[in-house]
Amino acid sequence: MMRKWLTSSFLVVLSTVLISCQGNADESASADNTDDNEEEKIEKAEDEENKEESSSDNQSDTSSEEEDENKEEKSLPDGTLQQGDQKKAVETVEQALKKLGYDHLTVDQSYEKETATAIRDFQAQQRDLVNDGIYGPDTKRYMQMALNNNLTFEPGSGKLKEPEENEQQENQNDDSDERNDSNEQSDERTQHNSNNESDQNKSDDKSKQSNSGNNNDQDGSSDDSNQNDSNSGSDQNNSTPVVSNPSKLLVLVNKNSKLPGDYVPQPLVTPDVRFPFEEDLPKKLMRPVAANALEKLFAAGDQAGLNLYALSGYRSYDRQEAIFASNVERYGSEEKANEVSAHAGESEHQTGLTMDVTSPKVDFGLTVEFGQTKEGQWLKQHASDYGFIIRYPKGKKNITGYQYEPWHLRYVGKEAAQAIDSQGITLEKYLGAI
């Protein structure tokens, strides 16, 4: 009996031990499975993260490559381009215009009217751009902004100034030019004379008031004196009267009459004549009526066996300002610089009616020696036949304000030019300004 009880008890204990061991094994297996699962989760998460990083890197590389390609595609040429130009740079500009929405353009290497019109439309929508249809540094800057999506505009919505009106006004035939020049010259001479009489009357009235004031107010007389003393150097330039109609053919520009700072003649073209440089620079430009006349003058010079070169035409207000500042530094004072160079606004180059000419005989320079060359002598005799005058003749510095410049041609039309030449006078005298 005792043996049976011990055997039974042993079996119970053994069964309990086996069950406990099985439970621990199951718990251990369960724990192992949990760790495995967590590790698998972590590995999967790491794999997903690696995949995302790899994908992000690939996308970044692709995006970087696309940006580089876009930058390359959107790069624009330097320099100046205008209607009539035929070169590779034109094709690049036209491609850019098509990307900006000018889908009608034909992309080639020819700067035709449709390209100029698209440029003018784009310029017309930018407040700081001149609406002249000429691609230059400023237009390039704004186009680059548009290509980089930093500028909004709408192709075809620009308010354009009709070029046909300018062409009709400036590119008439010779007979029409002569009639217009004659009428304009007569009107301007009358206007100048009228202004002179008015100024004289005002001067007389002011003189009477000043004399009357001297009897009662000595301090007032002193203030007037100080004000007069201030009209020298840069202050004198600031007080110089601004012309009311800068686009007139016979506009008088000198130290007593200046152009507005924002005046840019339109349109401007490059005359088909020789230049001693190949770059398309703004100083090649002239108003069409003057450019056409210069071409005829150069053609006549060629027939006479001469070797004329055009050197410097249109010059902006800002460019003249920089040139004058350079001359002040060179000559030591504004007064000395102003003998050979004009203040900004007082330069005829801003009118688009002037061209400085030269020749190989003087190493393409602008010197008084040019007047002694065959080219200089021929110009003195024949420039007026084509509507030009030597604007600053010898011995007239007291009138023009500048020393003799045999290279400086100013277009005024045939009638005025021949009258000035035959009488040996200046433009100031012809217009009654002195």
Domains 58-161 and 176-207+238-430 share a fold: no
For residue range 343-381, what is the model confidence (pLDDT) as tens digits? Answer: 999 999 999 999 999 999 999 999 999 999 999 999 999
Alpha carbon separation from 216 to 220, 225, 228 (Å, rounded): 9, 16, 20
Confidence of residue 7 (pLDDT cuts 50, 70, 90): low
CA–CA distance, 390 with 425 (Å, rounded to integer): 10
> Mean pLDDT: which of 41-50, 65-74, 155-164, 183-192 is highest?
155-164
Domain ranges of the chain: 58-161, 176-207+238-430
For residue range 241-278, what is the model confidence (pLDDT) as tens digits? Answer: 999 999 999 999 999 999 999 999 999 999 999 999 99
Q: Is residue 107 predicted with pLDDT exceeding 70?
A: yes
What's the mean pLDDT in 124-148? 83
- Of 7-16, 123-132, 166-175, 344-353, the least confident: 166-175
Q: Is residue 201 predicted with pLDDT exceeding 70?
A: no
CA–CA distance, 342 with 349 (Å, rounded to integer): 10
What's the mean pLDDT in 22-41? 46
pLDDT in the model for residue 87: 85
pLDDT in the model for residue 111: 87
Choices 3.40.50.10440, 3.90.230.10, 3.40.640.10, 1.10.101.10: CATH for 58-161 = 1.10.101.10
Q: Is residue 219 predicted with pLDDT exceeding 80?
A: no
Count CB atoms within 10 A of the CB of residue 110. 16
Q: Is residue 113 predicted with pLDDT exceeding 70?
A: yes
pLDDT in the model for residue 126: 85
For residue range 325-342, what is the model confidence (pLDDT) as tens digits? Answer: 999 999 999 999 888 889
Tell me which of 341 and 83 has the higher pLDDT. 341
Q: Is residue 168 predicted with pLDDT exceeding 60?
A: no
- Of 2-11, 158-167, 228-237, 384-393, the least confident: 228-237
> Mean pLDDT: which of 76-85, 142-151, 232-241 is highest?
142-151
Query: Is 176-207+238-430 a domain of CATH 3.30.1330.20?
Result: no
Confidence of residue 125 (pLDDT cuts 50, 70, 90): confident
Say if pTM beats, i.e. exceeds, 0.85. no
Alpha carbon separation from 109 to 60, 82, 113, 318 (Å, rounded): 36, 12, 13, 31
